[in-house]
Structure 1
Amino acid sequence: MSALAAEGAMLHTADVTPLNAAANAQLIARLERLPITPRLTLLRVIVGIATFFDAYTVLAIAFAMPQLVSEWALTPAEVGAIISAGYVGQLLGAVLFGSLAEKIGRLRTLFITIALFVSMDAACLFAWSGVSMIAFRFLQGIGTGGEVPVASAYISEFIGAEKRGRFFLLYEVIFPIGLMFAGTAGYFLVPLYGWKMMFVVGLIPSMLTIPLRWFMPESPRWLASKGRIVEANAVVKILEDSATARGVTLKSPVARTVDLNAKVSSDWRELFSGIYLKRTLTIWGLSLCVYMINNGLVTWLPTLYSQLFQLPLKTSLAYGWITSAVGVIASIICALLIDKVGRKAWYASAFLAAIVPLLALCWLGATSATEVLIFATAAYAILQTVAFSLYLYSAELYPTRLRAVGVGFGSAWLRAGSSMGPMIVGSIVAGPGIRYVFAAFAATALIGGLVTLRSAIETKGKSLEELSP
């Protein structure tokens, strides 16, 4: 065995020592001064492909649903259960795979999740009833629920503080683009080929991401946190070489002072102690509020247009696509500006601003498809800037030893909100009426705004290690 391999094996199995902590600090300093290079952009693109189809898979059922309602004679409660089943599975997957990523690494866990949600996408093609679709969507949700939080931790750990928000959110904007693509596919494919075509398209990531796996290194921050300093240094060296090959002169790394008493082991219970307790409860509250509203809206709108307002199928799907497209535009604006505005100010403003169109729909009675299209789209687009960027924010709130599991737990509440939203819409539409859906969502947005103002911390311009000792 070579000296380098022996050292790597020793560091792989050894506990992190003060000496390794100093080496870790130097490695972080080298990462923080790196520019955005084609190599980093390639990582963002590869992970983005998986995230794109994760988002597509989440919303594909909404555009298949108008046909399924007729084919299987589904009730509003059954529609809500089918939509929500995926989110319940996502809740479980977020917790399960977030914890697994702390143990076996971001990269290996990421590809387990992709294999799971792609295989269950294929299974959905053979669903024969509402019950079978609920089962397949639940299992598929376990995979999709694990992919995004692990991918978020992975991407955030390559980027320095100054560019983190913009770089990460230009990756994360692929999620609402995936939602919009689901609407496009639904509009053109479902009327011609039927609902199963939505799931055929979802099989594409298996053909794209598996070969690209070999271009992706493991997170150097995760490697260093496990004492695998030699491997972490090798990854950072590749990134440095990518920058210098383009003629970039790198600044000398400035390492932070090493805290020899800092914790190095991962223990999920730390999420509920010290400074992390308030952060954990805050991200849970924000996730629950924003996803309850947005997924309640976007997954139900095509069915509402078709069943409640009696619009033609293609018109219903086109209206749903418009909502998703406006959400993408709002997300891109957020990605470009959030490093300047800051996370807390943006979130508080978005929650409070979304109350206006939601209350307008309640007051007007939501009596026409046009009213719903205009005001529901406005509320969705405003809140989508919060929804798609919460993975950035939650990744910033935790240290490397807790990042994947912390983001995973937060994502579980995100999925809980996603599951509750469609069921709330279904029960209220079947009972008091559609206008009260928007009153309930306005109250939820108010709660989200108050939680942000009271409990959220600002993270812009600070390294991950500064934010989380």
Structure 2
Amino acid sequence: MDRRCVRLLASAGIGWMFDAMDVLLLSYILVAAAGELGLSKGEAGLVILANNVGMLLGALLFGRLADVWGRKPVFMTTLAIYSAGTGLTALAGSASDLALLRFFTGLGLGGELPVAASLMSELSPTRYRGRNVVLLESFWSLGSILAASVAYFAFPRLGWRIPLALLSLTALYALVLRSAVPESPLWLYLRDPQRAYAIAQTYGVQLGRVERHSARELLAGYRSQTLLLWAAWLLLAFGYYGAFLWLPAMIAKRGFGLVATFEYSLIMSLAQLPGYFTAAYLIERIGRRPSLLLFFLGSAASAIAFAAAPNVGWLLASGIALNFFNLGAWGLIYAYTPESFPSDLRATGMGSSGSMARVGMIIGPLLPTYLTFSTALAAYAAAWLAAGASIYLFGKETKTTKIE
């Protein structure tokens, strides 16, 4: 990997890391702030719902804007929105304040993820494209580990407000790094060919014929793959956010105290990075579809094992496996999806897929409010099995597809 690619990965990845920290810190905030804000279980669910609706709308809005205005302006704007929202969250004085601020923050979070993945895919040579996007997604695990670390080390000493304010300030650093990121040459090709060729040559990307497409073609010429991806993103997010936003509560339900709950969550989250690295290796070795099937099957088996865990050792082992396989699946689907759309529909396709994930993100966390944790985990496992089987049986392999 050359230095330009490393810089691109770092500038996009650091923002991605802060996104993950913010999303996953919400589950710890709901535990830590429950007493101070008087949050009931229903109000906690409302806060999660507001966050997820914001992410849904942000993915739809900014995904389309990235195809109209360009990747880089949206890339910068969404991070600024997220940073401001995170800082304001530290001022929340009630459940309704928290819900409103999480909706605003969610707009930036939902908009950034599909745009960043599209830009990384378009600035990567075909040979390393899948690997690079999975490595970008691996920064999510760093954010997850940092979120668990902040909850474990900082929340008991500083409370939850000060760490959020500091997180908002540090996230702004990613804006400085991103100022050096170029625009996508594939987006520029129809607008400024000379500049597009210069950027493409610098990053080793080949430019070929680029055609214009309307957003309607997502459900016309690309209907089968679009619907398949929408379903896969929805099912993956349905299980992921349902399981992981409630994971600290699931551990606490076993009778563990606040410190032990955060400690176990931190230990489990450490398996996410090896999961991403394994996915990054396999995606270029065995292809997209087989890799996705493997990681979806592993996620389902881990969820069932976690639900049935009879002791602490079993609980930790199954939780570690769940983090390994499910986060690896996320890296794979982020790499697979942008390869399925043409250049001027790529961010729209990613954004619409991301919006389907937000539908799953809204529905999934609601299950434990009505069902037992074990029953909810079984439902999440079934969703992952369906997603993996559907992609393997009906999806197209894009390993050697030239998106240029």
Please report the TM-score for the alignment, with normalisation by the length of structure 1.
0.81
Per-residue CA distance 1:300-349 (angstroms, 9 max, x = gap): 1112323x233221111111112221122211111122110211011112
The structural deviation recorded for 1:133 is: 0.6
Q: Which amino acid aligns with 1:222?
A: W
Pair 1:457-2:396 in alignment = yes
Alignment check: 8 A CA contact 1:59 1:179 kept: yes
Aligned residues of 1:56 and 1:181 also touching (Cα < 8 A):
yes
Residues 325, 426 of structure 1: alpha-carbon distance in 2 compared, 3 angstrom cutoff: farther
**Which among 229, 232, 244 is matched to residue 193 of structure 2?**
229
The equivalent position to 1:326 in structure 2, one of 265, 271, 282, is 271
Contact 1:180 1:328 (C-alpha < 8 Å) held by counterparts? no
- Alignment partner, residue 379 of structure 1: 322
Q: Which residue of 2 aligns with 1:399?
A: 342
Aligned pairs (5 A) from 1:89-238:
89-224=54-189, 226-238=190-202
Counterpart among 352, 366, 371 of residue 409 in structure 1: 352
Equivalent residue number for residue 345 of structure 1: 290
Secondary structure at 1:173's aligned position in 2? helix
Kept in 2, the 8 Å contact 1:305–1:369? The answer is no
1:102 & 1:300 partners in 2: Cα distance? 35
1:23 is matched with none
Does the 8 Å contact 1:399/1:464 carry over to 2? yes
SS of residue matched to 1:460: coil
Q: Cα distance, 1:417 vs. partner?
A: 1.4
- Opposite residue 359 of structure 2, the aligned amino acid is A
Structure 1 stretches lacking a partner, 5+ long: 1-35, 241-252
1:253-294 CA-to-partner distances (Å, cap 9, x unmatched) read 9876x5xxx7x33411110012x1111111111111112112
Q: How many residues align?
A: 404
2:59–2:351 CA contact under 8 A, matched in 1: yes
| Distance change >3 Å, CA 106–CA 255, structure 1 → 2 | closer
Tell me: CA distance 1:254–1:331, structure 2 relative to 1, closer, same or farther (3 Å): closer
Match of 1:67 in 2: 32
Contact 2:50 2:99 in 1 (8 A): yes
> How far off its partner does 1:206 sit?
4.4
Aligned-pair Cα RMSD in Å: 2.1
The answer to whether the Cα contact below 8 Å between 2:27 and 2:248 also exists between their aligned partners in 1 is: yes
Code of the residue aligned with 2:199 in structure 1: it is V
Match of 1:293 among 232, 239, 244: 239
Q: Which residue of 1 aligns with 2:301?
A: 356
Shift of 1:166: 1.5
Q: For 1:179 and 1:173, locate their aligned partners in 2 and report how far apart those are by CA, in whole Å.
A: 10
Q: Which runs of 5+ in 2 are unaligned?
A: none
Task: Determine if contact 2:238/2:364 at 8 Å carries over to the other structure.
Answer: yes
Matches of 2:343 and 2:145, distance apart in 1: 32
Rounded to whole Å, the distance in 2 between the matches of 1:168 and 1:438 is 28
* SS across alignment from 1:128: coil
The CA distance in 2 between the partners of 1:239 and 1:284, in whole Å, is 30
Counterpart-to-counterpart distance in 2, 1:153 and 1:103: 14
The aligned amino acid for 2:258 is: L
Q: Distance in 2 between matches of 1:303 and 1:68?
A: 13
1:452 CA drift (Å)? 1.8
Tell me whether 281-290 or 73-82 shows the greater mean CA deviation.
73-82
% identical equivalent positions: 29
Aligned to 1:280: 226
The structure with the largest alpha-carbon Rg is 1
Q: CA–CA distance in 1 between the matches of 2:199 and 2:299?
A: 43
What is the CA deviation profile of residues 182-234 of structure 1, one whole-angstrom value per residue up to 9, with x for unaligned ones? 1111111000001113312321444412333432211111100x231022123
Whether 2:37 is the aligned partner of 1:41: answer no
CA deviation string 1:13-32 (max 9, x = no partner) = xxxxxxxxxxxxxxxxxxxx
> CA shift at 1:72, angstroms?
2.5
Q: Does the aligned pair in 2 maintain the 1:296–1:422 contact within 8 Å? A: yes
Deviation larger for 157-166 or 320-329: 320-329
Q: How many Å separate the matches in 2 of 1:380 and 1:211?
A: 31
**Cα pair 2:339 2:398 within 8 Å, conserved:** yes
SS in 1 for 2:363: helix
Tell me how far 1:373 sits from its aligned partner.
3.5
- CA displacement at 1:370 relative to structure 2: 5.2
Amino acid at match of 1:185: V
Report the CA distance between 1:386 and its aligned residue.
1.0
2:62 counterpart SS class: helix
**Match of residue 15 from structure 1:** none
Structure 2 length-normalised TM:
0.94
Using a 3 Å threshold, how does the CA distance of structure 1 residues 348 and 210 change in structure 2: closer, same or farther? Answer: closer
Aligned 8 A contact 2:145 2:270 in 1:
yes
Question: Equivalents in 2 of 1:107, 1:90: separation in Å?
Answer: 19
